[in-house]
Amino acid sequence: MKKASSNPQTRQWQDLGRDHHLPPFTDYKQLNEKGPRIITRASGVHLWDSEGNRILDGMAGLWCVNVGYGREELAEAAARQMRELPYYNLFFQTAHPPALELAKAIAELAPEGMNHVFFTGSGSEANDTVLRMVRHYWAVKGKPSKKVVIGRWNAYHGSTVAGASLGGMKGLHGQGDLPIPGIEHIDQPYWFGEGGDLDPDEFGTRVAEQLESKILDLGEENVAAFIAEPVQGAGGVIVPPETYWPKIREILDKYDILFAADEVICGFGRTGEWFGSQHYGLKPDLMSIAKGLTSGYVPMGGVVVRDEVVEVLNQGGEFYHGFTYSGHPVAAAVALENIRILREEGIVERVKSETAPYLQHRWRQLAEHPLVGETRGVGMVAALELVKNKHSRERFPAEQAVGMRCREFCFDNGLVMRAVGDTMIIAPPLVIDPVEIDELIAKAHKCLDLTASAVLG
Ligand code: PMP
């Protein structure tokens, strides 16, 4: 257990947390025993906590602060829009300039033929929208039996009822009788964890083939869509084997079902392309977006929709779906400014040609550490596996909580690195520079050493 802070201001905030706040994805009893770390400010790729510690944010918040912290232009854009028109909705045949201009800006960046955007307040709401939109689409097309959406085990598509159901996290499913009916799952392309004796390419093909078996089992006439993250994020940065996406594409081409790419993490530059679908050459019919759309400065999400789907929706009468904050003008103004920054500063191009290759090169050097069984990554997202035995891929017993201990060492030594079980993951702001990448790697190395001494003795 961490010692209680000696700083009275920190203790006061921690008391407020215990007395009044129910934070997301938290074991309340466990947190109340020590209190949360209080983050008070941030600049560039660094955070400061209430104890004055400077911490390199290796997770860009929650994979979202793509342009880094402290961009005045985003604050200005929000303030300007608040003065001009702080709120109006997009219901009842009204609209406002920021939402319309943002829809166009997104269409310009999206894969060809995806020219319309439905706005939401978050990534979860985007995926709820995907579920409702694909079912509505097939009903309008005269095929109302096409309702089932196929997702993947250990995928993350949000924590609303539909988002958690589309996702494949058994912990989420266990709370509240999820998934809801009409959602099925196939295995994830997680070679390190589930590949057994197969080589990665063979494994990639085999798990992709499960999509075809699932479609055939359910009957093509009952399947509406397949949903997947180009790179699974919250599941542990699962970068699929090279054979995986080509095989999935082949199957999607063969059957009359829609493909929804969940780009909530991969979108807006994370892979070195504007969207992960472009990195992998995918042709989605719908793309969920959020996070990097506004660099997390204000909440916003959306679904980018292919022209052919829009043509059908246009024939469907009213789509009974939407949110008070769909296309919120302040969020839209911030998103527009965020996209301007990403474009004009050439941030996505720099990730692709300079900083991501450097990060990936340095990250792979961590594979030499005795505790590391694999390193993997693409663009500005990466993972490493903590193992007991590098060669057999044998894990530590779960009760040793090695990942959690490593995460705590990181926090205490000025680095945010997240743990998914014993998989350590990073997704730093896209603006991280080579000197800061060196800082990240040096701190990660030190924390691996500390973890190794703690668990190996
Ligand atoms: N999809 C993916 C791929 C995500 O990573 C997340 C959030 N981590 C979501 C959906 C849900 O987004 P939100 O938390 O904004 O609802």
Mutate to test the pocket of ligand 1, among 291, 303, 323 (most ligand atoms within 8 A of CB): 291
CA of 96 to the centre of ligand 1 (A): 26
Average pLDDT per consecutive 10 residues, the chain (457 residues; last block may be shorter): 75 96 97 95 98 97 98 98 98 97 98 98 98 98 98 98 98 96 98 97 98 98 98 98 98 98 98 98 98 98 98 98 98 98 98 98 98 98 96 94 98 98 98 98 98 92
CB-count exposure of residue 343 (10 Å: 0-12, 13-18, 19+): middle
Residue with tokens 């055939």: 216
| pLDDT for 222 | 98
**How much distance in Å is there from the Cα of 260 to the middle of ligand 1?**
14
Answer whether 262 contacts ligand 1 (Cβ < 6 A).
Answer: yes
Given the CA of residue 299, which atom of ligand 1 is nearest to it?
15
> pLDDT value at position 6?
80
Is residue 380 in contact with ligand 1, taking CB distance under 6 Å?
Answer: no
Cα 388 to ligand 1 centroid, rounded to whole Å? 31
**Cβ neighbours around 82 below 10 Å, total:** 13
- Testing ligand 1's pocket by substitution, the residue of 131, 161, 264 carrying the most ligand atoms inside 8 A of its CB is 264
The SS3 assignment for 450 reads helix
Q: How far apart are the C-alpha atoms of 146 and 136, rounded to whole Å?
A: 10
Residue where the block lists tokens 């030499």: 368
Q: What pLDDT is attached to residue 457? A: 75
From the CB of residue 255, how many other CB atoms can be counted at a distance below 10 Å? 13
Q: In this structure, how many other beta carbons lie within 10 angstroms of the beta carbon of residue 140?
A: 17
223-263 pLDDT, tens digit each: 999 999 999 999 999 999 999 999 999 999 999 999 999 99
Gap between the Cα atoms of 211 and 347, Å rounded: 35
Domain segments of the chain as ranges: 37-70+346-456, 72-344
Q: How many CB atoms lie within 10 A of CB 448?
A: 22
φ, ψ (nearest 5 deg) of residue 144:
-65, -15
Q: What angle do CA 312, 313, 317 make, to 5 degrees?
A: 120
For residue 229, give the 3-state DSSP assignment. coil
List strand residue ranges (DSSP E) for 121-255, in order: 148-152, 183-186, 223-228
372 φ, ψ to 5°? -105, 120
Q: Tokens in use for 201? A: 């390419």
Whether 264 lines ligand 1, by a CB cut-off of 6 Å, is yes
Q: By the 8 A CB rule, do 154 and 168 touch?
A: yes
| Protein residue closest via CA to atom 12 of ligand 1 | 123
Alpha carbon 435 to chain centroid, angstroms: 25
pLDDT, residue 264, reads 98
Pocket test for ligand 1, best of 156, 160, 297 (most atoms within 8 A of CB): 156
Encoding tokens for residue 278? 């472009």
Which atom of ligand 1 is the closest one to the Cα of 122?
15
State the architecture of 37-70+346-456 in CATH terms.
Alpha-Beta Complex (3.90)
Among 119, 128, 154, 265, say which to mutate for ligand 1: greatest number of ligand atoms within 8 Å of CB.
265
For the domain 72-344, what is the CATH code? 3.40.640.10
The first and second tokens of residue 264, run together, are: 């909530």
Over residues 94-136, the pLDDT tens digits come to 999 999 999 999 999 999 999 999 999 999 999 999 999 999 9
- Given a contact cutoff of 8 angstroms between Cβ atoms, the answer to whether 161 and 180 are in contact is yes
